[in-house]
Structure 1
Amino acid sequence: MDQHLVVFKEVAVRKSFSRTAEALHMSQPAVSQYIASLEKELGVRLLERSNKFVELNKAGKIVYQYSQQILRSYDQMQILVSDLQNDPSGELKIGASYTIGEYLLPKLLAELQERYPQIVPEVTIGNTDEIGSQLLHHEIDIGLIEGNYSHQQFSVEQFSTDKMYIIAAKRQPYKVEEEVSIEDLEKETWIIRESGSGTRKVLENFFEKHCLHPKRVLTFGSTQTIKEGVEAGLGISLLSDLTFAKEIQLNKVQKLIIDGTPIKRKFSIIKNHHEFHPKALQVFEELVKQKI
Structure 2
Amino acid sequence: MEQQLKIFIEVVERKSFSRAAKSLYMSQPAVSQYIASLEKELGVRLLERSNKFVQVNRAGKIVYQYAKDIIRNYDQMKLLVSDIKNNPSGQLKIGASYTIGEYLLPKILARLQVEFPKIIPSVFIGNTEDIGKKLIHHEIDIGLIEGQFVHPQILSEKFSTDKMYIITGGRQSLKGEVTISNEKLEQQTWIIREQGSGTREVLEDFFKKNHIHPKRVIILGSTQTIKEGVESGLGISLLSELTLNKELQLHTIKKLEVEGTPIQRDFSIIKNHHEFHPKALQTFESLVKSSLVE
Query: What does 1:96-115 align with in structure 2 at a 5 Å threshold?
Result: 96-115=96-115
Matched residue type, 2:45: R
Matched residue type, 2:34: Y
What SS does structure 1 have at the residue aligned with 2:174? coil
Matched residue type, 1:28: Q
Confirm or deny: 8 A CA contact 1:179 1:259 kept in the other structure.
Answer: yes
Q: What is the aligned partner in structure 2 of residue 222 from structure 1?
A: 222
Question: Cα distance, 1:175 vs. partner?
Answer: 4.3
For residues 175 and 102 of structure 1, what CA distance do their matches in structure 2 show? 27
Q: What is the aligned partner in structure 1 of residue 211 from structure 2?
A: 211
Confirm or deny: 8 A CA contact 1:176 1:257 kept in the other structure.
Answer: no
Q: Do residues 179 (structure 1) and 160 (structure 2) align? A: no
Range 170-179 or range 78-87, more displaced: 170-179
For residues 176 and 93 of structure 1, what CA distance do their matches in structure 2 show? 46
Matched residue type, 1:2: E
Confirm or deny: 8 A CA contact 2:175 2:254 kept in the other structure.
Answer: no
Question: Cα distance, 1:176 vs. partner?
Answer: 5.1
Q: Do residues 253 (structure 1) and 262 (structure 2) align? A: no
Question: Cα distance, 1:50 vs. partner?
Answer: 2.0
Confirm or deny: 8 A CA contact 1:191 1:217 kept in the other structure.
Answer: yes
Matched residue type, 2:179: E
TM-score when normalising by structure 1:
0.98
For residues 57-113 of structure 1, give each alpha carbon's deviation from its aligned partner in whole angstroms, at most 9, with x where no partner exists: 111111111111111111111111111111111110000000000000000000111
Matched residue type, 1:50: S
Paired residues, number: 292
For residues 5 and 122 of structure 1, what CA distance do their matches in structure 2 show? 25
Matched residue type, 1:269: I
Query: What does 1:30-45 align with in structure 2 at a 5 Å threshold?
Result: 30-45=30-45
Q: What is the aligned partner in structure 2 of residue 282 from structure 1?
A: 282
Q: What is the aligned partner in structure 1 of residue 194 from structure 2?
A: 194
For residues 91 and 175 of structure 1, what CA distance do their matches in structure 2 show? 47
Query: What does 1:234-253 align with in structure 2 at a 5 Å threshold?
Result: 234-253=234-253
For residues 26 and 127 of structure 2, what CA distance do their matches in structure 1 show? 40
Where does structure 2 lack aligned partners over 5 or more consecutive residues? none
For residues 121-172 of structure 1, give each alpha carbon's deviation from its aligned partner in whole angstroms, at most 9, with x where no partner exists: 0000000000001001101000000001011111100001111110000111
Query: What does 1:1-292 align with in structure 2 at a 5 Å threshold?
Result: 2-175=2-175, 178-292=178-292
What is the alpha-carbon root mean square deviation over aligned residues?
A: 1.0
Where does structure 1 lack aligned partners over 5 or more consecutive residues? none
Range 43-52 or range 146-155, more displaced: 43-52
